[in-house]
Structure 1
C-alpha cells in the first residue's frame, strides 16, 4: 500500500490562538463550537489568520457485489449509475447544496457496474464493475484495494494543487451501508446489530434480514488479519478510495470535513493506519443511520449538525462547510476588545 507521512499538528500556536479567540468582543466561549472550529483550523494551518480556499467535495461511486442479490438493499444496483448521471446533470441534493455554498463538486467512478462514456465529465478511475460478493469471497483483492487507495490519494492531491485546502467526501453505492456496518463492527468491536441501520429503507423486515445476512458474512470471514485486510474483505471501491483520499488530505494538512456513516467508516480504516488523521477532521453531522451515532460516540467527537440526514452524497459536509467558514471569518474579522475600544469586564 502507498505510505503517507502524517503528523499531528504542532501545539506551538495553541496558546496564541486561544488568546486571540478569547480577546474578541464577546464573552468568553460565547461563540460555542465555532470557537473550537476556529482553533482547530488555525492549528491545522499553523497560523493565527487561517484561510479556507476553494472548498471541494468529492463524491466516490461504486457498486457492491452483495447488492446483486437484493438481500440487503431495497433499491436495485442500477440506481448507483443512475445517480451518477443525476449528479452530472445537477439534479441531486449535493448539487443543490454545493451550488448554494459555492463548493466545487467532483464525481468519481470508483467501481460502478456500468459503462460510462469516457466523455462524461466525471473522474474515470473504475477499478472493476463493482466488488465481489463478500458472502462468497473477499470483496476485493489486496491489489485492487491498494490501487483504490492510491487513486483516492491522487484525486485529492489534484484538488490541493488546484488550490483547495478544505475538502469533504461523499459516496454513492447501493449496498454500501452494509459494507460500512461490517467495517464499523470490525474496528469498534461493536455487535453488528448496533452498527446496522435501515439504510435507504424504512422496512423493518428488511433490516432484520440485513442483520442476519451480515452476521453470516462475519462468520464466513472470521480470520481477518489486519485493518487493510478488513477493508479488502468488506469494503467497496468507493470506501477504499475515500481511505486514500482522507490520508492524502491529512498529509497535505487540509481541513477534512467528514460526512455521514459511510465516510466515517472509511475514516475508521484510515485511523487504524494513521491515528493522527483525526486532528485534521471536522465532523459535519450525526446522521439518522443507527450505526453512525454509535460510531461518533466511539470516537468521542461532537458533530456540527443534527438534521436526521441519511442520504449520503456528501450532503452533510456541504451543509457544514459554511459554518467552518464562519468560524474562520470571526477569527480573522471580528475586532478584539482593544481594537474596538470596548471594555473587557472579564480581563
Structure 2
C-alpha cells in the first residue's frame, strides 16, 4: 500500500454542500450531528446528492497467543463458537444487520479451529492463532502483510459489486489485550490508563492485563514502523481490518469505524497514512476503557454513546440508520425556496 494512493478528502464542494444544508427548511444547525454527517458523506463522495449503496459489514475472527497469559476470563474456544453463531444468524450483529438491510460477511483470518468449507465463511486463515507477544512477535512481517492484502482484496471485490459504505467488526478472545498494546505503542499511552475489562475482567484481572502489556511493550521497545508494530502486537483479524480500511479509503468509500478493537486497526492505518480518517465516520464511543482515548488520539467525534462494548461491528450497524437519515434529509428535504417558506 503506497501512501500516495490515499488522497486527502476533496474540499472542492465544501461551500456548495454547506449552502445546500443551510437552505433546507430549518433553522441553521437545527439537525445537529446529522448535518455534520451529511456534509462528510457529500465530501467523501464529492457530490451534493449522496447515496448509500449496498452497505456491508465485514466481521473478522482470529485467535490470540496472548491468551496464554490469562488475560481473558473466557476460554479461546469461544472464538470459533461465536463464529458458528454468526454463521447461524444468532449474534447481535446478525440481528442489527438484518434490521438495517446491511450485508454481513464473516471471515476466518486465524481461528484455532478447522471449519467445514462454507459459502458463508470467507477463508482468510493464515495460521491457527497468533503467537504470544509477551514472548515473541505475534506475527511475522510476511503474515501481517498477507493479512493486510487479504483485507484489501475483500474490499476491492465489494467495491466492484457496488458497495460504497463499509463497516468492520471482529471476534477474538484476547483481542482487547492486543488492541490495548497497539494503542499504547502508537498513541503513547500507558498500559494502566488504556487497559479495560474486555470480556469481563475484574479489577485484579485488569491490573494483570496491564502488567502483561507493560512488560511486552518493554520487550519490544525498539520497534517503531507501523507494520512492524502491527505484526508484533496485533491479531490476524486486526491486520485484515487494517488492510481493508486502507483499501476502502483509497477507493473513497465511506468507512464506519466501530469500537475498541476495530479502532485499533484504524489507529495503525492512520499511522501508515493519516489521510485514512478523512473517509471515516465514528459510529460510537465504546464503554471499553481506552476507546475514548483512541478517539481523542484520532480527533474523532462519535455519533452514539450507548454504553456498548460488544464488538462484532454492532455499533456501526446500530449507527447506520442515522447516517441514512442524514443522507435522506440532504436529498429529500425541501429548501426554503422549493417549499415557499420565508427565510430569515
**Same fold judged by TM-score > 0.5?**
yes
Deviates more, 1:199-208 or 1:135-144: 199-208
CA positional deviation for 1:298: 2.0
Deviations 1:38-72 (A, max 9, x none): 011001000100100111000000000111x2510
CA positional deviation for 1:225: 3.0
What is the 5 A alignment of 1:184-203?
184-203=183-202
CA positional deviation for 1:159: 1.1
Deviations 1:148-173 (A, max 9, x none): 00000001111111111000000000
- 1:39 corresponds to: 39
Partner-residue secondary structure (3-state), 1:290: coil
Distance (Å, rounded) in 2 between the aligned partners of 1:100 and 1:323? 13
Contact 2:72 2:201 in 1 (8 A): no
- 1:270 corresponds to: 269
- 2:25 corresponds to: 25
Deviates more, 1:14-23 or 1:204-213: 204-213
Distance (Å, rounded) in 2 between the aligned partners of 1:260 and 1:197? 13
- 1:164 corresponds to: 163
Moved beyond 2 Å, runs of 4+:
1-4
Distance (Å, rounded) in 2 between the aligned partners of 1:101 and 1:4? 35
Gaps of 5+ in 1: none
Partner-residue secondary structure (3-state), 1:39: helix
Deviates more, 1:293-302 or 1:54-63: 293-302
- 2:79 corresponds to: 80
Partner-residue secondary structure (3-state), 1:60: strand
| CA 1:2–1:133: 2 relative to 1, 3 Å | farther
Distance (Å, rounded) in 2 between the aligned partners of 1:336 and 1:187? 45
- TM-score (norm: length of structure 1): 0.97
Distance (Å, rounded) in 2 between the aligned partners of 1:224 and 1:171? 26
RMSD value over aligned CA atoms?
Answer: 1.1
Contact 1:152 1:242 in 2 (8 A): yes
CA positional deviation for 1:100: 0.4
Contact 1:4 1:251 in 2 (8 A): no
